[in-house]
Chains A and B, each alone.
Chain A
């Protein structure tokens, strides 16, 4: 009663592993996960300790992210909101420009920055470049008081998601240029939230891997923000590519069925 069942169960587990592995491949569309990752997956499914260690590591990464994006209340209390926002941007390795100034304050490769920005007290920030930083929803609280922010660049930020875009309504009066290209976590639902930014003139939504029908979504965006100039490069609007992808998917499914049949005893 139990022997073939356990055998079947093991085969099902193996096929589930394959399905999981395949799914990861299809979402990443890259090479199969490397050996150490597969080994970790194998060990996690057998030992509680490995699972716990991996969870601790994940939690440590998240807590580090949260620490970086914490609300700089101390700085705000002693130096004012503008200096606090400036310090936040610099500590996340971004760059900014004050209103009325023409020089940008940035960090160098090693994360070092000059403290000259302290000289300009009570000057709001006009442009902020947070490309490739780990800014997220809670971190945006530090920029909340910047009501004259005109440009915000968030190219390639891994933690910018739909909730972040929804919170951008804080800058609805002043924001004119927004760059959210290459952000992996943005989906169509978040782009719809951009409707609150009525003053937006330039929007860059190139190469967003999260949106499903880029052509249709861009047309709807253009309809939604009539005064805005939308840049959307990096999408393949070719119909043939979609057919090829469907064929690839069917082939993968077929080979998966063959593999599961080979594993199951007939």
Chain B
């Protein structure tokens, strides 16, 4: 069909040349012959002139119309925005960070048949300018005090070790996370040394490879550290280090999309839910909500698409609290279950990249001091990352609060130059700084996977698998994370990490 049009075009080509030349000669003789009448009043000739000049574009348009008219083309008279999400999806994951895409990947991995669950991932910012994932330090460690956290990190490290088998797409380059295999070095003062020892035994029992160092051993291993005030140090020998979070996010995304997950750029602004009232044994009336559809608003426009769904996963990170507020959680009477909001809020923290010529070399571990400052190597240079809760990127904060501690701990850092800085959000769990995974007692079909408070990236593969098991299998199969359920917030029993920092 298109070949026929092309041949037609070729034939018209030389013919057009002839026609235009005759037009030109006629007009010139006309003008020369009758000098008084220089203007031509007929519009017929000029239109025909334009037509022949734009003949190629006209032929192209006609060809396009013919191809659209044929069956098999996707033209419709109603202009539909192609970026809208589908009208129905089985599982809608709100939040396209590393946790959201990890859940999408595992859901697709665990479905029994191709196309078994329709997964839609909604992300409001495709540039990820405010997402916690890309602005994180990218470290993974097993040095926690809760066994669940240690198991999560170990499982995630296993996943990352075999990442090409899990997330490798045929005929694409193997994934290079640029994993630096250097451990985390925690330094403890006199007051917190006993906590470190207890944590060490928990970690060894759970299977993490950690070693305790005395100040002399520490000085031997890391001569550039000032061991004043340090009584005990704990160093991770294996499965610890840092990597590139953007590569991991893209690897999850690419694999999930290749398995059929649908991506949508938009913001979830409303939920449509049905409410059923039940009476507890105490006579209290509770509103049980069931989400029927999610309203996804397109960026910078009033257009929206209501997506009917069976399950919603809240992996919105720093903005998860806002999302649950749309469902009325937190607005009930003060003493009831509905009155307790999701205790996740965005906490701004900032990162300074620093150049230090005399600093420690290739083997700098992720150093965490008991004063709260932490440092790691970036590329083949060194960069410190302060744990701050201010709301601005404050360079004077670095000079007042961070630099003195750094310079005290590592004398070589007295001479350093800040090359760049940026700020990012933690999805900070104000209750106990640990993850919230599982359903809410009042909302039947919303699953939380949020509140990681800085550990989201390192736990993302294992958490994704756990949430996929919860959704598809009904219960945890590999790792039991029932300790992270929402119930602890209702009963006000915090599950705190007893870390020295």
Contact = CB atoms under 8 A, between A and B. Distances in A.
Interface of A: 1-4, 20, 23-24, 27, 41, 44, 51, 54-55, 58, 62, 137, 162-163, 165-167, 169, 187-193, 195-196, 198, 213, 216-217, 220-221, 223-224
A257 B329 CA distance: 54
Classify chain B's interface size: 20 to 34
B489 to A, nearest CB: 37
Contacts of B75: 1-2
Contacts of B64: 1, 3-4
Given A2-B74, A224-B362, A189 B380 contact: no
A20 B172 contact: yes
Given A189-B179, A216-B380, A220-B361, A54 B63 contact: no
A2 B173 CA distance: 32
Contacts of B362: 188, 191-192, 195, 217, 220-221, 223-224
Interface string B36-76: 00000000000000000000000000011001100001110
A161 to B, nearest CB: 8
Contact of B181 (A2, A44, A58, A190): A190
A1 B182 CA distance: 54
A108 to B, nearest CB: 33
A20 B171 contact: yes
B165 A189 contact: no
Interface stretch (B20-28, B91-99, B233-241, B389-397): B233-241
Q: Which of A1, A54, A217, A223 has the most CB of B within 10 A?
A: A1
Interface in B175-192: 176, 178-182
Contacts of A54: 170
B73 A166 contact: no
Nearest to B258: A51
B180 A196 contact: no
Nearest to A168: B238
A24 B380 CA distance: 27
A1 B179 contact: no
Contacts of B238: 166-167, 169
A95 B362 CA distance: 33
Interface in B117-167: 161, 165
Nearest to A21: B171
Contacts of B172: 20
A259 B171 CA distance: 22
Contacts, number: 83
Nearest to A4: B64
Contacts of A20: 171-172
The interface residues of chain A, by DSSP majority, are classed as: helix
B272 interface: no
Contact of A169 (B170, B180, B237): B237
B67 A189 contact: no
Contacts of B68: 1-3
A195 B239 contact: no
B363 interface: yes
A165 B363 contact: no
B209 interface: yes
A222 B76 CA distance: 67
Contacts of A213: 380
Contact of B73 (A3, A137, A163): A3
A209 to B, nearest CB: 13
A1 B68 CA distance: 6
B2 interface: yes
Contacts of B221: 198
Select the residue from B64, B181, B221 with max chain A CB neighbours within 10 A: B181
Interface of B: 2, 63-64, 67-68, 73-75, 161, 165, 170-173, 176, 178-182, 209, 221, 237-239, 241, 361-363, 380
A253 B237 CA distance: 43
B18 to A, nearest CB: 25
Contact of B179 (A41, A58, A162): A162
A99 B329 CA distance: 69
Contacts of B363: 192, 195, 224
- For the complex of A and B, the 8 pairs showing the least CB-CB separation, nearest first, are A3-B67, A220-B362, A193-B181, A195-B363, A189-B180, A2-B73, A166-B181, A1-B75
Given A2-B75, A27-B173, A41-B171, 4 more contacts: A20-B172, A58-B170, A162-B181, A189-B179
Nearest to B174: A185
B361 A51 contact: no
Scoring B74, B221, B241 by chain A CB atoms within 10 A of each residue's CB, the highest score goes to: B241
Contacts of B182: 189, 192-193, 195
B181 A55 contact: no
A137 B165 CA distance: 14
Contacts of A167: 238
Max chain B C-beta neighbours (<10 A), residue from A163, A191, A198: A163
A169 B172 CA distance: 33
A198 B73 CA distance: 68
Contacts of A192: 180-182, 362-363
Given A1-B64, A220-B380, A187 B176 contact: yes
B403 to A, nearest CB: 25
A163 B176 CA distance: 13
A54 B168 CA distance: 13
Contact of B178 (A3, A169, A187): A187
Residue of A2, A166, A187 with most partner-chain B CB within 10 A: A166
Contacts of A3: 2, 63-64, 67-68, 73
B361 A166 contact: no
Contacts of A2: 67-68, 73-75
Nearest to A55: B170
Nearest to B161: A163
Nearest to B180: A189
Contacts of B361: 220, 223-224
B201 to A, nearest CB: 20
A23 B238 CA distance: 33
Contact of B237 (A55, A58, A190, A196): A196
A169 to B, nearest CB: 5
Given A1-B64, A2-B74, A216-B380, A189 B171 contact: no
